Structure 1
């Protein structure tokens, strides 16, 4: 039961933070949403900041597992794997009514530049995604599937493109921004 409460609090945190941001959600709101108590919260988390660190760490772990499932799907060409991953991104990270469902996009502006552990966890998680995609591009170059000049720079730029495009699409309520990101992504893969 205790482990279920921990996960309930994390799940409640994702939902509430995606809606209101990290600073906009009080501890009691998370606790009440999870039907927990302050004691149960502090049993698992030292503070709200620690809760945020765990939340982001879990988020990146899940995101990397999802990325791996797309990149390892040998039923598709390498380009199709990247395209399918970003199609998944476009539909899962931004709802039809333009609510952001990506903790990184939602929290990047709020905690970036800070010196806290949450910022460090976010930076490390993003770097793991970037490095995994760079490795995929390097493998594709080696097998003549890609001709990407600098896989790491390309991966970093592509991740930045999608983070920024997701945020801008939400702000302007324009889905074509993500469609443009996809066109740019496909053009990079075809070079």
Structure 2
């Protein structure tokens, strides 16, 4: 009997399935029945793991950011690279993930930021916490880059990290609106200028 792992697998399967659907359609446009049908899970099982759709949305965002932060840590701590290379690799990864306009789970924060902030306080707080984790990691990488001499920034690291993240978030939204990668390319040019690489 492996009930704990089975429970984690079912819960994780629901979250992963929902993330793929919601990243394409948005949160409000997707009903529980669509998620459960795609996950091949009965409705009773859903409520065993999640008290409500909002609790589920919060858990989905927490799961998304946990994976996102782990991937970001791998990029920003890659061996045999300067900190400036690591930071640029992070932005290059962002650029590649936005290139298809059908992000399929790669850009859930971009997809849901405006939509759920006014719908669910729990989901807003999950987004706030997750994006703060991204900004904190960027600030640490910028600080390390200034210390090792691979970066020469004029702005305080945490302020610069916040500015960069907000710029890329906005650029990603504009790329979706225009169906054009120019906003992302502009963000990369500005990023290089701000980091003085």
Task: Give 1:35's aligned residue.
Answer: 40
Moved more, 144-153 or 154-163: 144-153
The runs of 4+ residues in structure 1 deviating greater than 3 Å are none
Give the CA deviation at 1:115. 5.7
Number of matched residues?
189
Give the CA deviation at 1:99. 2.1
1:70-85 alignment, distance < 5 Å? 70-85=75-90
Secondary structure of 1:163 counterpart: helix
Task: Give 2:178's aligned residue.
Answer: 172
Contact 1:99/1:170 (<8 A) preserved: no
Q: Cα 1:28–1:114, aligned 2, differ >3 Å: closer, same or farther?
A: closer
Task: Give 1:126's aligned residue.
Answer: 131
Q: Cα 1:95–1:47, aligned 2, differ >3 Å: closer, same or farther?
A: farther
TM-score normalised over the length of structure 1: 0.93
1:67 and 2:72 correspond: yes
Distance 2:50 2:128 in 1: 21
TM-score normalised over the length of structure 2: 0.90
1:161 and 2:167 correspond: yes
Per-residue CA distance 1:52-74 (angstroms, 9 max, x = gap): 11110111111111111111113
Counterpart among 181, 185, 190 of residue 191 in structure 2: 185
Task: Specify every segment of 5 or more residues in structure 1 that has no aligned partner in the other structure, as ranges.
Answer: none
Task: Specify every segment of 5 or more residues in structure 2 that has no aligned partner in the other structure, as ranges.
Answer: 1-5
Give the CA deviation at 1:81. 1.0
